[in-house]
Every structure is written in structure tokens, then in C-alpha cells.
Amino acid sequence: MSQQVPLFITIPHSGEKIPDSCYWLQNLEEPILMCDIDRYVDRLYEPFLRDLSIPFVKTEWHRYAVDLNRIPSDVDASSVQGHPNPAGMHSRGYHWTVTTLGQKLLPQPLTQDHHQALTDLIYTPFHQAVQEAAQKIRASGFKNIYHIDAHSMPSMGTAMHKDPGERRADIVISDSLGKSCSTEFRDLVITSYVTAGFKVGYNWPYVGGRLTEEYGRPQSGHHTIQVELNRSLYMDEVTKKLNPHFSEVSARLQKAVSKIQTELGKWSR
């Protein structure tokens, strides 16, 4: 069956599975282990994406092992043995060595072989799936591909963020400072989330990650935008458990994405 609308979604940070080789993550207390993952984002989006027949790519793997919004060179001497980047340069990089609350994760740098094995296990399959999703849209005859990278964020910036102590919007839209998508797609995404009842910020405190940088090539017809959802809307940020508003937030997300899908269908005719 051919693609009806040139839209797909990535969800790179909701996975909770720990690779067997990542022993340092095996027995962490849940509040630490879940500190920085986008817990429940897949559960918020996936049911209605299936209902709307919008393709999506997600991972089962935990971002502390390999962060799929980074690239394999986003490492340093504290995460990979003998790496020329100084220790601490990528502490929340490809392999996380510390949480955003300052809790130490990685006790010692990985060997180059371990780094490569995790890349083969986690990074390569995910990005192959992203590329296949884009290729399928191209094969359906569309000139443009529209790609939403879905994330969640703490409700307030920590000391390791750009906005320490600052309360954040409900949604933050990021486009690599205008480089990863057209202004028309950016405006459609912002308007759609506002119409769904969210307070929306733009490029603050996030400007986009490696997914927007690597895939967002509007001059070549691939438009990527990052969407961060405030975690306090649907979960208790301390216990990491769902709050009573989960279903309502999912319904509002569906309203936003459905509007994007409908408008893109008009553009593509």
C-alpha cells in the first residue's frame, strides 16, 4: 500500500530496555534510570498514529546506552577509552556518563569494541528504519517528506540545561534555528499544537538535536522538526508514574497530529 500523506514520526527516547552488556545500568533505582528518558511518549502517540495510518519509528533501547539523537562521534575520553575529545565534553552524549541531575552513570570508559557493538545493536537498526520510512515516501511519488521527531522534556530546566530554574512551555518546537524544515511546515506544526490547546515555545531551550541536523534538509525536500512535550502534563516527574491527565493529553496530541496530516494532504495534492 502506498503512502497517502508524506509524514512520518520518530520516537527515539522512550525505550527502557537495557542491553546485557551495560552492567552499570542494570541495578539503578528507577528514578535515576528514568530520569532522562522520554517515558510514555510512545504510549501517548502510538495508538493514534496507528489509527491515522501514520508510520513511525521507535526503539526499545534505553538512551543512556546509546542516545539516538546523537551520532557515534559524540563521545569523549570519559565515555570511550582513548578518545581525543576531553573528558566531560559529551557527558550527555552518545553514551551518557551522568544524568541531568548530576548522578554518575558510567563508571569507566567503554572499549572501542563495546562502543561499536552498541552502535551495531541500537544506532544502526534505528537509523536504517528512519531511512527506509523516508524512502517509502519518496517511492510513493512525493517530492517532500515531513518528519516529526517526538520527545518529552522536564517541566523546568536543571542546572545542566540552558534554562536552569525556568518553567517551560507545554510544547517546544525546534527546527535547528530555521535550518531543518520550511517555514510553512514549522508554522503548520506550531499552529496545530496551539489549536490543540498547548502553550508552544520555539527554539528555546532546545534548538533540535542530531536527528533534525542529520535529516532536516529542506532544500532536498526532507523537512524535520523536533517536538518536545512537557512531562508534567501527563506524569509525576518524581515517581515517573502517569497522572490522571494522560488520556486527555494523548487526545490533544492526536488533534494536533491529525490537523498536520490533513493539511499536508492538501499540500500534496
User: How confident is the model over 145-166, as a mean pLDDT?
Assistant: 92
Asked whether residue 234 is assigned to any structural domain, the reply reads yes
Asked whether residue 102 is assigned to any structural domain, the reply reads no
d(Cα 47, Cα 38) in Å, to the nearest integer? 17
The pLDDT confidence band at residue 269, using thresholds 50, 70 and 90, is low
Structural domain count of the chain = 1
Q: pTM value?
A: 0.96
The pLDDT confidence band at residue 2, using thresholds 50, 70 and 90, is low
Asked whether residue 192 is assigned to any structural domain, the reply reads yes
Asked whether residue 241 is assigned to any structural domain, the reply reads yes
Nearest Cα to Cα of residue 78 among 62, 94, 67, 102: 94
Expressed in angstroms, the distance from the first to the final Cα of the chain is 18
Asked whether residue 40 is assigned to any structural domain, the reply reads yes
Asked whether residue 219 is assigned to any structural domain, the reply reads yes
All residues at 6 or more sequence positions from 130 whose CB lies less than 8 Å from its CB, including other chains: 10, 57, 211, 215
| Domain of residue 212, CATH code | 3.40.630.40
The pLDDT confidence band at residue 4, using thresholds 50, 70 and 90, is confident
d(Cα 233, Cα 202) in Å, to the nearest integer? 18
Asked whether residue 29 is assigned to any structural domain, the reply reads yes
**pLDDT of 166 above 60:** yes
User: How confident is the model over 213-221, as a mean pLDDT?
Assistant: 97
Range of the domain at 21: 7-62+124-267
Question: Tell me, what's the pLDDT at 160?
Answer: 82
**pLDDT of 42 above 50:** yes
Q: How many beta carbons lie within 10 A of that of residue 249, not counting itself?
A: 22
pLDDT tens digits along 67-124? 999 999 999 999 999 999 999 999 999 999 999 999 999 999 999 999 999 999 999 9
Q: Please give the C-alpha separations between residue 153 and each of 209, 234, 260, in angstroms, as whole numbers.
A: 13, 11, 22
